[in-house]
């Protein structure tokens, strides 16, 4: 299947995302930010729609970026306020902003196909330009991760200790939320929301079954994502070319990742039972 250039580009995009999401998902895991990651992927939607309405396809990236950064800030503030519990605040931000997106898009005639594009992305129509965008964001994200990693681990493990050591907890939290937002923005147009969610959560969760080391988790997560990305692309290719089943490639990649997680579950349970 790789003789088709668009498949090669799809694989390149997935490779870049695997490099980002292996490490970033470790922090999402350690800080239990699954719900925040989920919320960010949904709240980027109104930005995508608004960006498109304002200046067409070129506005999508900017719109998504603005929406992602705004959500990261709002979520950080709301979960610090203490009036609402974290999860309720996140749920409301997620649903409310997603609804703004749906409200905007439902005024257009191509309603359902727009929604579908957002959910599944257009992995097979990734352009070289988009690849460059993703690569730039990958470098930016990985640099931020390299700088912030120690502080984030400390904060995730022991807030009190990190605060006493002089770290500003609010700023650390905001920075991590912003990094997650950047990843979402980098990936959402190409691979769609559900795959972004899966990429931010599953790699570390699956890798945790294999190792107790954070660095090893990041590496294993990246390798796993690469394997599943390739497997998913092959699966959707075979399904549509050989069997006429229109399985989107993003969906297939998610299914491959989830399958890997399920297969690794017993490994994790076994390791836990007999601690080395």
Partner 1 sequence: MTYAYAEAVLAGALAGLIGVQVVLRRLSYFTMALTHATFPGVVAAAILGVSITLGGALAGVLVACGVAALTRRRGQDAAAATGVIVAAGFAIGVGLVALQDGFSRELSSFLVGSIVTTGRQDVVTTAIVLILVAGVLAFFGRGLLFTGFDAAAARSAGYRPGLYDLLLLVTIELVIVTIVPAVGTILALALIVAPAAAARLWSTRLPVVTGLAVTLGMLSGLLGLPLSGLLDIAAGAAITLVAAAFLIASLAARRTS
Partner 2 sequence: MAEPPPPGPVPAQRHASQPTALRIEAAGFGYRGTTVLWDVELTVGEGRTLALVGPNGAGKSTLIKSVTGLADLVTGSVTVLGRALPKARGLAAYVPQAETLDPDFPVSAADVVLMGRYRRIGWWRPTGRADRDAALAALDRVGLADRASTRFGLLSGGQRQRVLVARAIAAEARLLLLDEPLNGVDATSQERILTALGELTATGTAVVISTHDLAVAARIADQVCVLNGRQWAAGTPGEVLTPEVLREAYGNHAVDLPDGRTMLVET
**Angle at which helices 34-81 and 86-105 cross, to 10°:** 110
Site for partner 1 in 183-222 (CB under 8 A): 194, 197-198, 200-202, 204-205, 208
For residues 233 and 11, the answer to whether their CB atoms sit within 8 Å is: yes
The CB-of-19 to partner 1 minimum distance in angstroms stands at 20
Considering only the stretches 29-37, 58-66, 135-143, 169-177, report the one whose residues sit in contact with partner 1 under the rule CB under 8 A.
Answer: 29-37
Q: Residue 80 is encoded by which pair of tokens? A: 């610090």
DSSP string, the chain: -TTSHHHHHHHHHHHHHHHHHHHHHHHHHHTT-HHHHHHHHHHHHHHHHHHHHHHHHHHHHHHHHHHHHHHHHHHHHHHHHSSS-HHHHHHHHHHHHHHHHHHHHTTSTTHHHHHHHHHHTTGGG--HHHHHHHHHHHHHHHHHHHHHHHHHHHHHH-HHHHHHTT--HHHHHHHHHHHHHHHHHHHHHHHHHHHHHHHHHHHHHHHTTT-S-HHHHHHHHHHHHHHHHHHHHHHHHHHHHHH-----HHHHHHHHHHHHHHHHHHHHHHHHHS--
Question: Which part of the chain contacts partner 1 (CB under 8 A), choosing from 35-43, 130-138, 174-182, 216-224?
Answer: 35-43
Closest approach of partner 2 to the CB of residue 64, in Å: 28
Provide, rounded to whole angstroms, the least separation between the CB of residue 156 and partner 2: 7
Nearest distance from C-beta of residue 155 to partner 2, angstroms: 10
- Closest to partner 1 by CB, 3 vs 242, is 242
For residues 133 and 179, which CB has a smaller minimum distance to partner 1 in the complex? 179
Question: Contacting partner 1 (CB under 8 A), which of 37, 67, 162, 226?
Answer: 37
Phi/psi of residue 110, each to 5°?
-90, 30
Opening angle at CA 243, ends 242 and 244, nearest 5: 105
By C-beta, is 211 or 238 nearer to partner 2? 211
* From 7-15, 24-32, 173-181, 214-222, span contacting partner 1 (CB under 8 A): 24-32
Residue of 103, 139, 170, 241 that binds partner 1 (CB under 8 A): 103
Residue 115 engages partner 1 in binding (rule: CB under 8 A): yes
**CA dihedral over 94, 97, 98, 99, signed as positive or negative:** positive
Work out how close the CB of 251 gets to partner 1 at its nearest, in angstroms, rounded to a whole number. 5
**Residue with smaller CB distance to partner 1, 129 or 244:** 244
Residue 106 near partner 1 by CB under 8 A? yes
Partner touching 261 among partner 2, partner 1, none, CB below 5 to 8 Å by kind:
partner 1
State the nearest-atom distance from the C-beta of 84 to partner 2, in Å.
Answer: 14
Residues making contact with partner 1 (CB under 8 A): 29-30, 32-35, 37-38, 42, 83-92, 94-96, 98-100, 102-104, 106-107, 111-113, 115-116, 119-120, 194, 197-198, 200-202, 204-205, 208, 239, 245-248, 251-252, 254-255, 257-258, 261
């Amino acid at each position: 299947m790789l003789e088709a250039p668009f498949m090669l580009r799809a694989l390149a995009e997935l490779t870049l995302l695997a490099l980002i999401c292996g490490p970033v998902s470790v922090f999402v895991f350690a800080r239990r930010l699954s719900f925040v990651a989920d919320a960010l992927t949904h709240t980027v939607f109104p930005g995508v729609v608004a960006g498109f309405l304002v200046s067409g396809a070129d506005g999508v990236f900017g719109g998504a970026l603005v929406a992602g950064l705004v959500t990261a800030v709002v979520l950080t503030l709301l979960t610090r306020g203490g009036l609402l519990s974290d999860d309720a605040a996140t749920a409301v931000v997620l649903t409310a902003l997603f609804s703004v997106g749906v409200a905007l898009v439902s005024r257009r005639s191509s309603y359902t196909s727009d929604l579908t594009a957002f959910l599944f992305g257009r992995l097979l129509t990734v352009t070289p330009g988009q690849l460059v965008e993703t690569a730039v964001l990958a470098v930016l994200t990985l640099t931020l991760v390299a700088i912030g990693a120690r502080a984030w681990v400390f904060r995730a493990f022991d807030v009190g200790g990190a605060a006493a050591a002089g770290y500003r907890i609010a700023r650390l939290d905001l920075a991590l939320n912003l990094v997650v937002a950047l990843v979402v923005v980098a990936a959402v147009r190409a691979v769609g929301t559900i795959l972004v969610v899966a990429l931010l959560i599953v790699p570390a969760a699956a890798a945790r079954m294999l190792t107790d080391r954070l660095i090893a988790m990041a590496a294993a997560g990246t390798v796993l994502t690469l394997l599943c990305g390739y497997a998913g692309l092959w699966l959707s290719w075979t399904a549509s070319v050989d069997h006429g089943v229109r399985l989107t490639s993003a969906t297939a990649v998610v299914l491959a990742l989830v399958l890997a997680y399920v297969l690794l579950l017993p490994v994790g349970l076994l390791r836990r039972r007999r601690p080395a």
